[in-house]
Amino acid sequence: MKEDSKPNGWLTAALLAPTTMWFLFMLILPLIVILVFSFGERAAAGGYAGGFTFEQYANLPARLKAFQNTMTFAPIGTLLCLIVAYPLAYYLALRVDRRYKLTLLVLVIVPFWTSLLVRTYAWIFLLGGRGIPSLLEWIGFEGVRLINTPGAVLIGIVYGYLPLMVFPIFVSLEKLDKNLLEASDDLGGTPLKTFWQITLPLSMPGIATGCMLVFILLMGEFLIPAFLGGGKVFFIGNALVDLFLQSRNWPFGSAVSVTLVVIMLITISLYMRLTMRTKTSRDESLM
């Protein structure tokens, strides 16, 4: 090797400098502030007053419902997304004519480019009194109520996050060696057996990536429950908006944030450990 191809320490440092600055001021500093605040007390006029108390953490059960909702809706929503997305990704990757593949794939992402806010508004109408319920009434089912129910929140979740699930699964199915499918077929494997023993295991990396993406984003979701849950179904995100911006109880909000971050770090590291063990190549299609 020649002299100048040696790793250059100064260059590496210079290339990393902006990123380091960002991590320090936009990630570590805010997290430290939140951590410090979570041990403080609420000032009389709202905001933060210094102190060292575990009172905020002791108060956490007051928001237990939000934690419970998030911890149930996030996994269920992720699973529903997976169930809806997998057949579509399978169809796009293995069944569709090559000519239409790209167009159909782009059509899945296009809704993602319009604002989630606006799309969720559309569902308020669709699920509201003059939308689907009135259609159902016309057919003969009366008194169906959709808006402001857990079901409405789940529909909103599947709708909002579907593209994020389809994409990674599509990528891993697309890469799949078609010869394996033929071989299984030739050796007398039924379609179900081929799917169970070849297609599904080989698409695991895509499933793992998609599930993680959707789950992470769902844990911080607050728009969909706020719009479609009508105050009956609320997530930690909604509790945080309320605590920081409306009731201005910063220390308690900080304690809730810290708890959420800790829960996420634990769940995700467990999840990663689990998927790493079952699947050797998790590196493909990371995003």
Partner 1 sequence: MRIYSIAVYLFLYVPIGIIVLFSFNAGRHASELRGLSVQWYGIALSNPFVGDAFFTSLVVALSVAILSSLMGTAAALALQRLKGTLRVLFDGMIYISVMIPGIVIGIATLVALVTVFNFLNPLLASVWSEGVKPPKLHMGYASVIAAHTLFTMSLVIILVRARIAGMDRTLIEASMDLYATPWRTFYQITLPQIYPAILAGFLLSFTFSFDDFIILPGYINFAVKIRISAHQIRRQQDTGLGIYQP
Q: Is 87 in the site for partner 1 (CB under 8 A)?
A: yes
Nearest-angstrom CA–CA distance, 194 and 203: 13
Q: Is 144 in the site for partner 1 (CB under 8 A)?
A: no
Stretch that binds partner 1, among 53-61, 173-181, 195-203, 260-268 (CB under 8 A): 260-268
Q: Which of 54, 100, 121, 141 binds partner 1 (CB under 8 A)?
A: 121
How many of the chain's residues bind partner 1 (CB under 8 A)?
Answer: 80
Nearest-angstrom CA–CA distance, 73 and 237: 13
Q: Is 25 in the site for partner 1 (CB under 8 A)?
A: yes
Q: Which of 268, 275, 279, 282 binds partner 1 (CB under 8 A)?
A: 268
Q: Which of 64, 187, 192, 245 binds partner 1 (CB under 8 A)?
A: 245
Half-sphere exposure for 286 (CA within 13 Å, toward CB): 3
Q: Which of 53, 79, 83, 91 binds partner 1 (CB under 8 A)?
A: 91
Q: Say how many Å lie between the first and final Cα of the chain, rounded.
A: 35
Cα angle at 232 between 229 and 235, to 5 degrees?
Answer: 70
Q: Which of 83, 122, 144, 262 binds partner 1 (CB under 8 A)?
A: 122
What track of x and - describes contact with partner 1 for positions 162 through 201 (by CB under 8 A)? x---------------------------------------
Stretch that binds partner 1, among 58-66, 169-177, 188-196, 249-257 (CB under 8 A): 249-257
The answer to whether residues 238 and 225 touch, using CB atoms and an 8 Å cutoff, is: yes
Report which residue type is found at 203.
S
Nearest-angstrom CA–CA distance, 230 and 4: 63
Q: Is 264 in the site for partner 1 (CB under 8 A)?
A: yes
Q: Is 37 in the site for partner 1 (CB under 8 A)?
A: yes
Residue 53 φ/ψ, nearest 5 degrees: -145, 150
Rounded to 10°, the helix 64-90/150-175 angle is 40
